[in-house]
């Protein structure tokens, strides 16, 4: 169970999210931060610094573009907005990707193309 408390503007928020084992496994594989359930982590692997929520979303955004290889700006923004649940947060990720050394952005007429650089 995950509990999120805070405010959205002046509105108080108290959200409880319940995840079963398969949900946690999918989340872990999407974030690529944990061993599959029931399998211990490799003993030789160095201890990874835990990801905060912003780092986790950033990793998922990079993985999204890496797997696609290339996306148009509007398509990428739409997917980032879906990932974050917010147009503003999606735009911030888009700007962060634009300035990343792992991403190449070229103009294709009116639409920029975002490409992952291997």
Domain limits at 96?
A: 53-118
**pLDDT tens sequence across 8-17:** 888 888 877 7
Q: How far apart are CA 79 and CA 75, in angstroms?
A: 6
Shared domain for 62 and 21, answered yes or no, is no
**pLDDT tens sequence across 72-82:** 999 999 999 98
| Residue 72 maps to a domain | yes
| Residue 42 maps to a domain | no
Assigned token pair, 112: 């920029």
Q: How far apart are CA 3 and CA 10, in angstroms?
A: 19
**pLDDT tens sequence across 35-45:** 555 555 554 45
**Summary mean pLDDT of the chain:** 80
Shared domain for 62 and 92, answered yes or no, is yes
Whole-prediction pTM: 0.56
| Residue 99 maps to a domain | yes
- What pLDDT is attached to residue 27? 73
Burial-class residue 76 by CB neighbours within 10 Å (0-12, 13-18, 19+): buried
Shared domain for 75 and 27, answered yes or no, is no
Assigned token pair, 82: 């879906």
Q: Which residues of 28-62 are buried (b: 16+ CB within 10 A; e: fewer)?
A: eeeeeeeeeeeeeeeeeeeeeeeeeeeebbbebbb
């Amino acid at each position: 169970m995950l509990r999120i408390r805070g405010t959205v503007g002046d509105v108080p928020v108290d959200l409880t999210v319940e995840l079963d084992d398969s949900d946690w496994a999918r989340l872990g594989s999407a974030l690529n931060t944990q061993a599959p359930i029931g399998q211990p982590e490799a003993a030789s692997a160095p201890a990874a610094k835990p990801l905060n929520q912003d780092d986790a979303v950033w990793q998922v955004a990079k993985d999204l573009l890496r797997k696609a290889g290339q996306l148009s700006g509007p398509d990428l923004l739409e997917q980032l907005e879906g990932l974050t649940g917010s147009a503003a947060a999606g735009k911030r990720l888009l700007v962060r990707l634009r300035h990343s050394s792992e991403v190449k952005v070229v103009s294709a007429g009116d639409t920029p193309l975002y490409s992952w650089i291997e």
